[in-house]
Amino acid sequence: MTLVAFPLSSNGPDGEPRWSRNYPYCGGAFQSPINIQPELLRFDPDLLPIQLQDYNLSSEEQLTLSNNGHSVQLSLPSRMHLSGLPYRYSAAQLHFHWGSSNTPTGSEHTINGKQFAAEMHLVHFNSAKYHNISQAVDKSDGLAVLGVFIEVGEFNPAFDRFLKFIKGIKYNGQKLQVAGFNIRELLPTRLDEYYRYDGSLTTPPCYPSVLWTVFRNPVSISLRQYLALATALLSSHPQEAATVPLVGNYRKPQQMDSRVVLASFQQSWGLHGTTSVASPMQRRLVIQHLINGDLADLADEGLHHLLPKLQRKNWAVKKWRNNPNQQPLGQSTEKHQKNKGLNVTRNNPSVWRNTHGRSYMGMSAINDDALCFISMEKNVSVWVTKHHADAQMIEALRKAVFPDLNLKSYLNCRSDLDLLTIRHLLRSRPTDEANELDQALTKASQGHKQKPMTQYQGSALTKISGQTQAAVLKNSHNMVPTNHRLQPVEWED
């Protein structure tokens, strides 16, 4: 999924390895794409078929086909939208990622290491909360993207409705008009089989603002149609003497960061009989008990069940062991901290306001606003500048964002509860008790082999919480936005 206009080749001046220098979220948490592996999958029977509204466009309607220097993009009218998600998501555009004529492997997401020839992304924004895609792009609930794998096979007449004009947009910046058609015909026949996870834009600024739906079944295009993408386009402008082919415009898979991937089906890949993810009510019980209960006594028999099952980055554990008093950076708004009900102390009170509150009972009062990533980046930038720690920007931003992202994703059943997030929640406990719990967590993390969530989500979660599901507060945990912008963003995705 693309955002800013520059070639995506790793050999270019703004190649992927250097993205995070100017766009620190690209080195941050919950990034996309990912390699969807069987051991990450959790069957969720509550995932219903994707519901498309107003996708059948009239041939009288004109759509803009453009070469933006990093992809082929087709504009879509906002009356097209998705229903059945937490919000209404309106369409903005679709675009493609592909390999080259010699290497027809250019999909961004991969399935158990398999890379398809290309991938199509249909980008939608949360029109229930934001006026346009520019407002939504940096919010944690801002975007929903449909990902479609493309393989080389039979000729596809739906794709030819615009690919036959592709030579007219050879150069970066060129545009033309094409007649509307039924966009549904570009998608797989089955809209009930897909993967779902929380992720990011796949190009700078890499905001982790995307609810991803990646369809299980690919669509096919002919070799001629694929070569139209892989050979006819340039990322350079007409006036440039040196021409740069537009090929290989995909990002490599990113780390999982404790995420799981929900699957709407269980027909294969070891999904037979796999228990569904724990319900949001069960998960809120765990969060509530982390804040209000006494887990220290359960350290030997049950605390390890809260730990993530996947391998974590060293920073998530080692830095806490080396400096147990270190507090992760957090969001700056006082409203956010009051809503959370957390007693948080910050490294710099001029940026992070202290508030007081012992319990997490604020869960019942939390509104449904979303974390604003531009605001977070600005606040962290102020902090690292004051402390002459510019080189620590990526790490500081990641530590500021990760616990909230992980907690929100956990409560929505799309990730495990990460150890760093558990400690983030425990900061509201009295010092002596927090230290005891921290020691218990460290012991549990060292002394128990991590288990898949499916092995302990039922009775184990009830045992840890000591409560029934009926006792769970039904309000979701979400984040509070502020309205700063660190720098202008050229929105092309």
- What is the CATH classification number for the domain harbouring 165? 3.10.200.10
End of a domain among 235, 263, 291? 263
The reply to whether 247 and 310 lie within a common domain is no
CA neighbor of 76 nearest in space, from 95, 50, 60 = 95
Cβ-contact 277, 456 below 8 angstroms: no
* Secondary structure element (H or E) that encloses residue 398, with its range: helix 393-411
The reply to whether 44 and 112 lie within a common domain is yes
Residue 449: its pLDDT value, please? 47
The reply to whether 347 and 428 lie within a common domain is yes
The reply to whether 252 and 397 lie within a common domain is no
Residue 293: its pLDDT value, please? 65
The reply to whether 354 and 247 lie within a common domain is no
The tokens 């999982």 sit on which residue?
Answer: 256
Residue 132: its pLDDT value, please? 97
What is the number of structural domains in the chain?
2
Residue 197: its pLDDT value, please? 98
Rounded Cα distance, 314 and 466, in Å: 32
Spans in the chain with pLDDT lower than 70: 1-14, 267-275, 293-369, 434, 444-493
Residue 481 lies in a domain: no
- Any catalytic annotation for residue 131? no
Residue 11 lies in a domain: no
The reply to whether 309 and 392 lie within a common domain is yes
The reply to whether 237 and 318 lie within a common domain is no
Taking the alpha carbons at both ends of the chain, their separation in whole angstroms is 7
The reply to whether 303 and 259 lie within a common domain is no
Residue 395: its pLDDT value, please? 93
Residue 467 lies in a domain: yes
Please, is 17 exposed, middle or buried when counting C-beta atoms within 10 Å of its C-beta (0-12, 13-18, 19+)?
exposed
DSSP 293-324: S--GGGTTTTGGGGS-SS---GGGTHHHHH-T
Residue 425: its pLDDT value, please? 84
Whole-number Cα distances in Å, 338 to 81, 353, 365, 369, 407:
35, 10, 10, 14, 17
Residue 135: its pLDDT value, please? 97
Residue 73 lies in a domain: yes
The reply to whether 224 and 285 lie within a common domain is no
Residue 178 lies in a domain: yes
- What single-letter DSSP state applies at residue 50? P
* Secondary structure element (H or E) that encloses residue 434, with its range: helix 431-447
Residue 435: its pLDDT value, please? 75
In 342-387, where does DSSP find H-type helix?
373-386
Residue 273 lies in a domain: no
Residue 488 lies in a domain: no
Give the domain extent around 237. Answer: 16-263
The reply to whether 80 and 202 lie within a common domain is yes
Residue 270 lies in a domain: no
The reply to whether 77 and 46 lie within a common domain is yes
The reply to whether 295 and 253 lie within a common domain is no
